[in-house]
Amino acid sequence: MSRPTLSFRPTVRPTVSTVPSQNFPPGALVPGQRPDRALNSAQFAAARAARASGTAQGMTGRNLEVFVAQAAMNAR
């Protein structure tokens, strides 16, 4: 009498990461940006200054928008 071979299936469990995800909410260009919430006065002023500065440097399109969003998020 022979014994059947044992087959092992690995158990895969989902892992919970403590590192923030690189998935931004829809419309967000930089980490921490919340497009569904209005900017406060400091963030709005920083965004206006960054847009003027970026335009003066010749930035356009997505590069300009990311530059402005980053400035607004840093103003907190």
Domain membership of residue 65 (yes or no) is yes
User: How many whole angstroms separate alpha carbon 76 and alpha carbon 68?
Assistant: 13
Indicate the residue type of 15: T
Q: How many domains does the chain have?
A: 1
Domain membership of residue 26 (yes or no) is no
- Give the domain extent around 47: 41-75
User: How many whole angstroms separate alpha carbon 33 and alpha carbon 73?
Assistant: 6
pLDDT along the chain (76 residues), means of 10: 67 57 76 88 96 95 94 89
pLDDT (0 to 100) of residue 31? 83
User: How many whole angstroms separate alpha carbon 54 and alpha carbon 58?
Assistant: 6
Domain membership of residue 71 (yes or no) is yes
Domain membership of residue 9 (yes or no) is no
